[in-house]
Chain A
Amino acid sequence: MAKNGAKDIEVKAFATHQLITQPNPLRKVLRRVEDKDDPVGRAEQALAGLSGEFKDWMATEVNRLSAAYVAIRNDGFTKDRRDELFRAAHDIKGDAATFGYPSAAAIAESLCRVIEHAPDFEKVPAELFTHHINAILAIAHENTKLDSISVSAELSRRLRNVADDYLAHVNRDRPEHLEAIFAPSIVPAE
């Protein structure tokens, strides 16, 4: 793509800021079409074509989560290990619904909230971690048995309630965390 040169950039100075405008450098990629080309539909089909790999991908993600927790349990807490546990849970939160495991995504979100908002990671009851992680493992590994919507959704809901009760209690003197914990998500509920 052609880029705008410095001469194309217009700067207007105001008392507290500058307003910088330039001709749209990407205007040439817009074209008027009359056909029934459907790039979104094409992409959805391509994504569906990947779905045969999603189960293996999910297994990789949950094994990473499990390994991250085992490392903390066996070798002790460090910031790096905590961060790896968070990223593993966070990836499942973002990816699992795409892979066909929306309840696992919801449980991973609850786990992320515990990791992010617990004031002292080392004082979090181990059961709170293991119940979340075991539930995600169960949903991923025993998909055919547990992935009925009602069972996995109920499991997700209960874990979230337990986690939220814990977070509300341990953050009772930290209003900024309480506000973040109970702020609505920008992602619509399933």
Chain B
Amino acid sequence: MFRIDFNKLRFLVCDDNPHMRRILRTLLHSFGAREVYEAEDGATALEMYSHYVPDIVITDWAMPIFDGLELAQMIRQPDSKGNPYAPIIMLTGHSEKRRVTVARDAGVTEFLAKPISAKGLYQRILNVVASPRPFIKTKTYFGPDRRRNTSSAYMGPERRVGEKHEVLQQPSLLDKARSSI
């Protein structure tokens, strides 16, 4: 059985709600994490991201001024001086399918709909630690590989041209968002 050494991981938590930050801190410390940095808005989180270089970012979506989606987009700048590859877990009250798609297109790695559960959070962290995905850079996207299936019938405008070896079998973000809630 594999476990995560949480005490070697550095987390950045971004949520404007102090109650949710307290819950997240409690859960992460219970998992064994020692380094948990907290921000109450996206702008502060971006500063802390550059300063503390966290291994994993957990962010809310709906926040005033600079929200979690914008935070993800700012982190996923391929030419930035910081690390654009850190896993981003979007923890949000949004529970609509289209929101999962929007988050995915912003470069979010995992999506976890509230209400939060210890099991759901642990599973998302395990996913990003044990099964990191390659990154894709196109003219309009930089982030974890969004392609989750190998439908050869799809001929849409965003169909990538590539080879078989770069197509990975993995469950869709939506299916993963539905599981372990």
Chain A interface residues toward B at CB < 8 A = 1, 3, 12, 14-22, 24-26, 28-34, 37, 39-47, 49-50, 57, 60-61, 83-84, 86-87, 90-91, 93-98, 105, 109, 112, 180, 183-188
Q: How many of chain B's residues touch chain A, expressed as a range? A: 35 or more
For the complex of A and B, the 10 pairs showing the least CB-CB separation, nearest first, are A94-B93, A94-B114, A43-B118, A43-B30, A97-B115, A20-B135, A46-B30, A18-B137, A187-B95, A15-B161
Chain A residue at minimal CB-CB distance from B83? A3
Residues from chain B with Cβ under 8 Å of A180 in the complex: 96, 98
Interface residue ranges, B against A (CB under 8 Å): 1-6, 8-10, 16-17, 19-20, 22-23, 26-27, 29-32, 53, 55, 62-64, 83, 85, 92-98, 100, 113-116, 118-119, 121-122, 128-130, 132, 134-138, 145, 160-163, 166, 174, 177-178, 181
A24 to chain B, nearest CB (A): 5
Given contacts A3-B53, A47-B23, contact A183 B96 (CB under 8 A): yes
Main DSSP-derived SS at the A contact region? helix
Please report the C-alpha to C-alpha distance between residue A163 and residue B164 in the assembled complex, in whole angstroms. Answer: 48
Contact, CB under 8 Å: B113 / A187: yes
Q: How far is the CB of B3 from chain A (nearest CB, A)?
A: 5
- Select the residue from B27, B32, B63 with max chain A CB neighbours within 10 A: B27
7 examples of A-B residue contacts, CB within 8 angstroms: A1-B10, A39-B4, A44-B119, A47-B30, A83-B64, A112-B93, A180-B96
Q: Which residue of A lies closest to B120 (CB)?
A: A40
A16 to B26, CA, bound (A): 44
| Interchain CB contact under 8 A, A26 and B132 | yes
Chain A residues near B32: list those with CB within 8 A.
39
B174 and chain A: residue at smallest CB distance: A186
Q: What residues on B are CB-neighbors of A109 within 8 Å? A: 95
Closest beta carbon of chain A to B146's beta carbon, Å: 11
Among candidates B9, B19, B94, B174, residue contacting A26 with C-beta atoms closer than 8 Å: B9
| CA distance in complex: A105, B55 (Å) | 32
Are B116 and A32 in contact, with the CB atoms below 8 A? no
Which residues in B have their C-beta under 8 angstroms from that of A84? 64
